[in-house]
Each structure stands twice: as C-alpha cells, then as structure tokens.
Chain A
Amino acid sequence: QLQLQESGPGLVKPSETLSLTCTVSGGSISSSSYYWGWIRQPPGKGLEWIGSIYYSGSTYYNPSLKSRVTISVDTSKNQFSLKLSSVTAADTAVYYCARLEGSTRYMDVWGKGTTVTVSS
C-alpha cells in the first residue's frame, strides 16, 4: 500500500524559506505512470495546487507561486521536496503531498498533511 509522509519544520519566520520533504513508501517514485505534487490549504480555505514533479525532474508550478517555488526529487531516497522562499503569513497552511496520475493529474494518494505556520 503506497503511503506518503510529509516532514519539515512547523514554524518558519517571515522572509525565510519553507522546506518540506515527502517520503514515499510502499512503491517507487520512479514510476513512469505518475507525477508527484504539493498542495496546500490555508486555514478555513480551499485547496491550492503548488506544483508537481516527474521522476525525471521535470517540474510544473502554479503561476501564482512560480517565482518562489522549487520542487525537486531524490529517487535514491524515494523522496521529493518543496522549497518556498520569502514566506509571509499568507503562506500559513496545511501542506499536503500527493501522487498524481499521469494523464489528467487526479490525486489518488495523499499524505496526512503537515501544518506550517509563518510567524516571528
């Protein structure tokens, strides 16, 4: 059974860089059938796609966040990571990682999510 687990600091200071890692277990991140992505949800609000990555390293970002986002993959560790720079309070959210199906990007496996608060 494929499982995803987010990890990283729960508190980040304004203007600093948020860094999260998603560890994939029970399957290979190098599968050609899937992408891997980050989604966030601010308190009381809806879901926002941040970006996705293919095992080859090809990346796709939400235009509204593109200037601040970097997603990378480490196939040797079966992990992918998110970096979001110059964070503000508006970046406070629950951050989820997920597996995305290759053709139409539906998300069939999700991590439990991790809460990140931006505060000094």
Chain B
Amino acid sequence: AQSVTQPDIHITVSEGASLELRCNYSYGATPYLFWYVQSPGQGLQLLLKYFSGDTLVQGIKGFEAEFKRSQSSFNLRKPSVHWSDAAEYFCAVGRNTGNQFYFGTGTSLTVIP
C-alpha cells in the first residue's frame, strides 16, 4: 500500500541555520511527490513537486528537495531559514488512481531568533 512517513513531528532551528525535513514514501512505481506548506491560519500551498527528470527540484521560497529512489526519500532542504518559514510542512505522494494524494502527518517547524 502507498504511504508517506514524516518521522519528525516537530523541529526547531535557529534563524539563518540550514534545514532538512525528512520524507519517506512507499510506492510500487515511480512516485509523484510533493511538498506543501501550511502557514498558521492558512490552507496548504505547494512548495515543489517531482514527477520525472532531474532528481533535485527547486521550489518557491528558496526550498529544494531531492528524490532518492534507493532510499525511498524526498527530503526538503533550505540553506538558510527565515523566521517566516515557521509553519507546518506536509509531504505527499500522488496515488495511482485519479488525482488523489496521500499526505504525511506533517512536520511543525519553529524558528528561533
């Protein structure tokens, strides 16, 4: 069965530090992978997506993610975190039937000054 695991429930980083959020997926074929961000009081916004080609994908707000098939991972990274990046981050994989998605349980990011 398809699934998405985000092993870190909550992460705290200092402003200016680097960030890596982990995502592992379980899928039988080449997955379609997404990272969404949810700022407080807001809906989810797409950061980036991968469906083929270059395994390092660039997204909005300075984020990038790398697809590693051997590790079944799609980790999100940012070299220097800003206070405005404090939010909840969701990894998602596209299902094999229709336009549906499995979402991970989310990682809450706190940024300290």
Partners in one complex: no
Instruction: Please give the residue numbers on chain A whose beta carbons come within 8 Å of chain B beta carbons, in ascending order.
Output: none
Instruction: Please give the residue numbers on chain B whose beta carbons come within 8 Å of chain A beta carbons, in ascending order.
Output: none
